């Protein structure tokens, strides 16, 4: 019976790989890779010749059975596009299936973008919440942000360059103008970590075209006394009497009360 190895691979700099990872990749009977092109480049760089098969979101149902059958004969390594497998990729389902069949599963730890960005951010690292990739659609993205608006832990998320400005606008609107570190091209030649406020990040990347994959590290909700419902209603009514639009009033009250903006807005309906 073979073992399924979850092998962390470099997120940028090819030197960021462990001796154990190189040994395991050179010994397994099969390497299952989220991106076979990048996998072959990595293996070739280190002079490793092993069979490689693809396993990604689009073909996981067809390929999973082949990988499980291979485990009957020997060890298999799974590597993601970059970093630690099983985070925001189909590795979770492969792990679950292997465990259900009784195969041993172990990890070969190494580079991972969320933790790398977190420790570079300058924001608190004692507790954090990993959100994965922010939803592509604005309504779903805002709904997720409203769910975590009251979380006091540091937040970590991935975002694509073409959606960065939209995501930053939603972050500021839903969470308020918090501290943020915008990290891109981590461990690569053009690594950049922009630190400041969300509003400042919006201004910066409005003039500097976003390029590369981004990891966002966002400050947690500030500590404050959470208002009761009566106080929230009163604050909303006061702002509406002053002529503020409901959306703006809800944003202001949410920032003061510790309530999610959507819940405040619903109280005014």
Tokens of 199: 């509003």
> Angle at the Cα of 115 (from 123 to 44), degrees rounded to 5?
145
For residues 263 and 196, state if they share a domain: no
Q: Which of 66, 84, 111 is the last residue of a domain?
A: 111
- In a domain, residue 75? The reply is yes
- In a domain, residue 198? The reply is yes
Sign (positive/negative) of CA torsion 157, 161, 163, 168? positive
- In a domain, residue 26? The reply is yes
For residues 197 and 159, state if they share a domain: yes
- In a domain, residue 224? The reply is no
Residue 55 has pLDDT above 80, yes or no: yes
For residues 105 and 118, state if they share a domain: no
* pLDDT at residue 262 in the model: 82
Mean pLDDT across the stretch 53-59? 92
CATH number of 66's domain = 3.40.1010.10
- In a domain, residue 223? The reply is no
Cα–Cα distance for residue pair 155/125, rounded to 1 Å: 10
For residues 10 and 103, state if they share a domain: yes
Over residues 12-49, the pLDDT tens digits come to 999 999 999 999 999 999 999 999 999 999 999 999 99
Mean pLDDT across the stretch 111-122? 97
Number of domains the chain contains: 3
Nearest partner of 84 among 29, 36, 1, 21, judged by Cα: 21
Cα–Cα distance for residue pair 216/180, rounded to 1 Å: 7
What one-character-per-residue DSSP string does 192-232 give? EEEEEEHHHHHHHHHHS---S-EEEEEPPPPP-PPPPHHHH
CATH number of 210's domain = 3.30.950.10
Domain that holds residue 162: 114-218
Q: Which of 111, 141, 158 is the last residue of a domain?
A: 111
For residues 62 and 47, state if they share a domain: yes
- The pLDDT-based confidence of 261 (bands split at 50, 70, 90) is confident
For residues 122 and 211, state if they share a domain: yes
- In a domain, residue 138? The reply is yes
- Name 184's bridge partners: 192, 214
Supply the mean pLDDT for the chain: 93
Mean pLDDT across the stretch 171-179? 91
Cα–Cα distance for residue pair 112/97, rounded to 1 Å: 23
Q: Which of 70, 92, 111 is the last residue of a domain?
A: 111
For residues 133 and 205, state if they share a domain: yes
């Amino acid at each position: 019976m073979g073992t399924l190895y979850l092998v962390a691979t470099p997120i940028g700099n090819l030197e960021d790989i462990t001796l154990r990872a190189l040994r395991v990749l050179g010994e397994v009977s099969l390497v299952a890779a989220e991106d076979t092109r990048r996998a072959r480049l990595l293996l070739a760089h280190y002079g490793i010749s092993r069979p490689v098969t693809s396993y990604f979101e689009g073909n996981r149902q067809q390929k999973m059975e082949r990988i499980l059958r291979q485990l009957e004969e020997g060890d298999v390594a799974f590597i993601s596009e970059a970093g630690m497998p099983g985070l925001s990729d189909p590795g979770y389902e492969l792990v679950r299936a292997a465990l259900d069949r009784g195969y041993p599963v172990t990890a070969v730890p190494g580079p991972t973008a969320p933790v790398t960005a977190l420790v570079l951010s300058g924001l608190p690292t004692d507790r954090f919440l990993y959100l994965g990739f922010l939803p592509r659609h604005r309504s779903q993205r805002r709904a997720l942000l409203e769910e975590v608006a009251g979380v006091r832990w540091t937040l970590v998320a991935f975002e694509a360059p073409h959606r960065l400005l939209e995501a930053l606008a939603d972050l500021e609107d839903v969470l308020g103008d918090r501290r943020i570190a915008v990290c891109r091209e981590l461990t690569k030649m053009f690594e950049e970590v922009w630190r400041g406020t969300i509003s400042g990040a919006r201004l910066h990347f409005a003039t500097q075209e976003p390029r590369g994959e981004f990891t966002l590290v966002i400050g947690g909700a500030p500590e404050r006394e959470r208002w009761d419902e009566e106080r929230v209603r009163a604050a909303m009514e006061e702002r509406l009497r002053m002529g503020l639009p409901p959306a703006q009033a809800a944003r202001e009250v949410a920032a003061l009360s510790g309530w999610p903006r959507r819940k405040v807005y619903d109280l005014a309906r």
